[in-house]
Amino acid sequence: MIEVKGIEKSFGDTMVLKGISTVFDTGKTNLIIGQSGSGKTVLLKSLLGIHTPDKGTISFDGRIYSELTNDEKRDLRTEIGMVFQGSALFDSMTVEENIGFPLKMFTNKNPREIQERVDFVIDRVKLINAHKKKPSEISGGMQKRVAIARAIVNNPKYLFCDEPNSGLDPKTSIVIDNLIQEITEEYNITTVINTHDMNSVMEIGEKIIFLKEGILAWEGTKREIFKTDNEAIVDFVYSSNLFKKVRKAQNREL
């Protein structure tokens, strides 16, 4: 569980996060949604320790990040898996070297054990015929799978995904969303996903927090999102005609 208490973050005179407090539950896919510039990425980067909040605390299963020593912070980071928006795979390494990288750096496994674990994870994310290929030689969807495989190879407690569907077609997006949800449940991970893709919200939004101009404007589940009268979230969700129709249909059913 990750607990965020009253975090604030400014860049110069611009206050990007204005006292956000929430809890990201273990074993669930927690989604951060909001328009571009709402503070989603800054919140995610604050959770990852890339940005230091000006105020407030972030605790990982009771460990308050700002109170940890540098060594403890590095240890905590080995418990974190991250899927970056652009995958952030290492260009100079093959797919299996990319996936095995965290094991090579942080475990005492021998090369055979590393290879076994890498093969297992490659099977888990259903990557076919990609072991020896470089990231530039595989498709965007496959790169996302490699990024997910790399993120989970060292059995992380926390999984963060920044726009995991960006640049993917709708079908591949659903496959990636479902893969993240399956992994979250299977390994009982605390997963936090930063997205503005409403399809993801509908597919895997077990807990959703909605940011608007740096304020937590709404939180709930994918079922609750269609029932809420909160103006900010209604305005965001129903900016698409498709979802307006879905809401009408749901209201009729009720």
Strand 2-11 to 14-24 pairing: antiparallel
Binding test (CB under 8 A) with other proteins, winner from 74, 227, 244, 245: 74
Q: Of the candidates 17, 33, 43, 80, which one interacts with other proteins according to CB under 8 A?
A: 80
Among residues 10, 84, 221, 247, which is the contact residue for other proteins, using CB under 8 A?
84
Distance CA 149, CA 161 (A): 12
Residue 245 CB partners (closer than 8 Å, separation 6+): none
Which one of the spans 53-61, 71-79, 203-211, 227-235 is the region binding other proteins (CB under 8 A)? 71-79
**Under the criterion CB under 8 A, does residue 48 sit at the interface with other proteins?**
yes
Query: Least CB distance from residue 225 to other proteins, whole Å?
Result: 29
CA dist 7 and 24 (Å) reads 14
**Which of positions 88-107 make contact with other proteins (CB under 8 A)?**
88-92, 101-102, 104-106
Secondary element (H or E) of residue 209: strand 207-212
Q: Using the rule CB under 8 A, is 166 a contact of other proteins?
A: no
- The residues, ordered by sequence, that sit 6+ positions from 242 with a Cβ below 8 Å of its Cβ are none
Does position 245 interact with other proteins (CB under 8 A)? The reply is no
Residue written as token pair 């308050």: 64
Tell me the β-bridge partners of 9.
17
Question: Which residue's structure tokens are 């749901």?
Answer: 250
Q: Which stretch binds other proteins (CB under 8 A): 87-95, 121-129, 176-184, 218-226?
A: 87-95
Nearest to 209 by CA among 5, 75, 22: 22
Question: Under the criterion CB under 8 A, does residue 6 sit at the interface with other proteins?
Answer: no
Would you tell me which residues interact with other proteins (CB under 8 A)? 48-50, 73-78, 80, 82, 84-86, 88-92, 101-102, 104-106, 160
